[in-house]
Structure formats: C-alpha cells, structure tokens
A and B are shown apart, each in its own frame.
Chain A
Amino acid sequence: DAGVTQSPTHLIKTRGQHVTLRCSPISGHKSVSWYQQVLGQGPQFIFQYYEKEERGRGNFPDRFSARQFPNYSSELNVNALLLGDSALYLCASSLQGASYNEQFFGPGTRLTVL
C-alpha cells in the first residue's frame, strides 16, 4: 500500500505570493495533520482535519488555511508569503483523529521563499 504522499517535493516562491501544498493520506485514513518544520528545529503543529472538519489549529497566523476533501486528501494554503515561511511542510495521516491513532508522515514539501 502507498504511504502518505505530498506534492510538490520542492517549491520556490517569492515574498507576497501564495502557495498550495497537497497531501494524500494512506488509504482508509480519515484524518490529516499539517506540520511546519523550520531547518534545524522540530515540527510545529499547524492544523488537524478529520472528516473534512477542522479539529485543531496551532499558533499560526490567518495567512495559513487548509481544507480536506471528500476523498480525505488535503490542501494547505499560505497567503502573502514571508521569508520566515521557508520550511519543510509535513503532512501526517491517521485512521481517525483520536489521540491513540498512530500518525504516519509523508516525505514533506520543501518550500523556499525568496
């Protein structure tokens, strides 16, 4: 079975632009979480979605938004990009959103903002 997939692998944008990152969860998984990992640091939680509803949000500005589709795939959108948004964006999927469900991570999307 395929694991969590993310696209694109790499992305270069300029300040002020908008970006959309995509995530496909493992088949059968209904929950998707997004994390931002700045170089040299641990991942920071951005969002969790379960059954197309937002179930959790981290301490990120409103420029960050996400949604989950009926097939449980997800998009993370970032508006008005800043240099500080340069990071590895990780998507993780789990069967449900419950705390006991293991989260499986994708390979990430490396975003560079110039």
Chain B
Amino acid sequence: AQTVTQSQPEMSVQEAETVTLSCTYDTSESDYYLFWYKQPPSRQMILVIRQEAYKQQNATENRFSVNFQKAAKSFSLKISDSQLGDAAMYFCAYRSRANAGGTSYGKLTFGQGTILTVHP
C-alpha cells in the first residue's frame, strides 16, 4: 500500500516571500501521479499542481512549482511571491497510474496536510 507523509503540520510565510512545503511518499510502483491540493477554510479541495512520475521535468503552474525527486520519493511544493489568498491547508496526494485489476484506479492517497499561514 502507498503512504504519503507531510512532516510539517504548520508553515508560515510573509506576503511576497517564498515558501516550500515538503512531502515524501512510499510506493513500490514505478508509474504514478502526484498532486498538491489546496483546501481553504471554505473546505473546497482545489487542485494546485500535478506531476506525472514518468516525466523528469518538474511541473510548474504560475507561482507554484514542484521539486520531484523520484529516487528519493520526495515531492515538495514551492510557492513564490506568496499572497494572502494562498493561506490554506495543503495536501500532497498520490494516485497509481496502473489499472490494478479495475479497482481503485481513481483512488487518491492523501498526506496529513500542512497549514500555511501568510502574514501581511
């Protein structure tokens, strides 16, 4: 079974600064997807960025970028030029790419989350 670990329960950053959120995972699979989701107080889970394990290039989405280290099973999220609206709970998540006999191939495995506070 896959596991996802976020070792930082809370992080804080000053507005306009850069912050990095950490995530490690454990899997025996070679092909999978990794995600960062944002959950603001409104509770709506929003996809921030996605990385496909077979792609060596790190994904970027505007101010958000990842550092994907497949051998180390590490997947960190960097938020540049932090804004007040970035304040939320951030979750790292894993999903297998393989269709394991037709079961659970859409299943997301989440980490425990990191609360990000942005100070003005």
Contacts and interface: CB of A to CB of B under 8 A. Distances in A.
B78 interface: no
Interface of B: 4, 33, 42-47, 50, 91, 93, 95-99, 102-113
A57 B105 CA distance: 10
B111 A42 contact: yes
Contact of A97 (B106, B109, B113): B106
A40 B112 CA distance: 8
A7 interface: no
A34 B18 CA distance: 34
A45 B93 CA distance: 11
User: How many residues of A sit at the interface, in one of the four size bands?
Assistant: 20 to 34
Contacts of A42: 4, 91, 93, 110-113
A98 B44 contact: no
A4 B105 CA distance: 20
Interface stretch (A20-28, A64-72, A76-84, A100-108): A100-108
